[in-house]
Amino acid sequence: MPRIARKKSNSGIYHVIVRGINRQDIFHEEEDYTKYLEGLKRAQDISKFEIYGYCLMSNHVHLLLHEKIESLESIMKRVGVSYASWYNKKQERVGHVFQDRYKSEPIDSDAYLLSVLRYIHNNPVKAQLVLQAEDYMWSSCRKYNNSNKYLGDMINTGFILKTFDECGEIARQRWQAFMKQDSNDKFLDIEEKQQKINDERLYKEIQKILKGQSLGELQSMEKASRDKIIRKIKSIEGVTQRQIARVTGINQSLVFKA
């Protein structure tokens, strides 16, 4: 089936989502998040695109980008190849890290731009990782509050803030008030088709797969045998790698590589 052509943005601004292959986690620890940001900055230095916002979740990334001298497709390829190469080397694995095709939507109005950015920043709140968007370390929300050491000058906050007021302090106050407004905004996001499974149910499913063997035996198994069982566990509908690691006691990076 031929791919549907992407909608082009008249403004050159896009909301982009890229996710881990098979919904798998692509960030496991602080080093992973920082490496992705470093690769994003290197790509920006070459492609000169503007970044108005982002949020890095464990298994997907939201970006709000303004393409300039390079197309969105070239930008995403550059960023993706950089991180995947580093990640595979670190994890001693081969193959895809990201889902083959990123998702994107054009942003062609100020109102939509602001609402999308608020939605992106509120992802960690929706996922119950933090109570307030500005408390999440791996999003640009903290940069809008002048408190993110990882971003430097990569994020162009001025473009957004000027839509509220020319005075920086007034603009920031109005932005913060806007962020706190209740909203039922729904925008481009990853599909959550799988019904989540709780730890108790997962433990029972693992016991069936182990056929009388204990979790301790699984942990100490020879790699090929252990990986074969982990792959069966990963095929259980609704399970996550983080959950598998928690229930089995096996390091999450080993779960990912299996």
Q: Nearest-CA neighbor of 25 among 97, 92, 78?
A: 97
| Cβ atoms within 10 Å, residue 31 | 11
Give per-residue pLDDT as tens, 141-181: 988 887 555 555 799 999 999 999 888 789 889 988 998 88
Q: In which element (H, E) is residue 114 found?
A: helix 110-121
Q: What is the pLDDT of residue 28?
A: 85
Q: What is the pLDDT of residue 181?
A: 83
Distance CA 26, CA 21 (A): 8
**7: DSSP letter:** P
Structure tokens of 138? 């791996």
What dihedral angle (degrees, nearest 10) is formed by the CA atoms of 252, 253, 254, 258?
A: 100
Distance CA 39, CA 145 (A): 23
Instruction: With beta carbons less than 8 A apart as the criterion, state whether 18 and 60 touch.
Output: yes
Q: What is the pLDDT of residue 168?
A: 79
For the question of whether the overall pTM of this predicted structure is more than 0.75, the answer is: no
Query: For each of the chain's 258 residues, which pLDDT tens digit applies?
Result: 345 567 788 899 999 999 888 778 889 889 999 999 999 999 999 999 999 999 999 889 999 999 999 999 999 999 999 999 999 888 888 788 888 788 999 999 999 999 999 999 999 998 888 999 999 999 999 888 875 555 557 999 999 999 998 887 898 899 889 988 877 666 666 554 455 778 888 898 999 999 888 888 999 989 989 988 998 888 787 787 788 888 999 987 788 777
Q: How buried is residue 5: exposed, middle or buried, by Cβ count under 10 Å (0-12/13-18/19+)?
A: exposed
Structure tokens of 250? 């096996």
- Sorted by where each starts, the structural domains of the chain and their CATH numbers stand as 13-179 (3.30.70.1290), 199-257 (no CATH)
Give per-residue pLDDT as tens, 60-78: 999 999 999 999 999 999 9
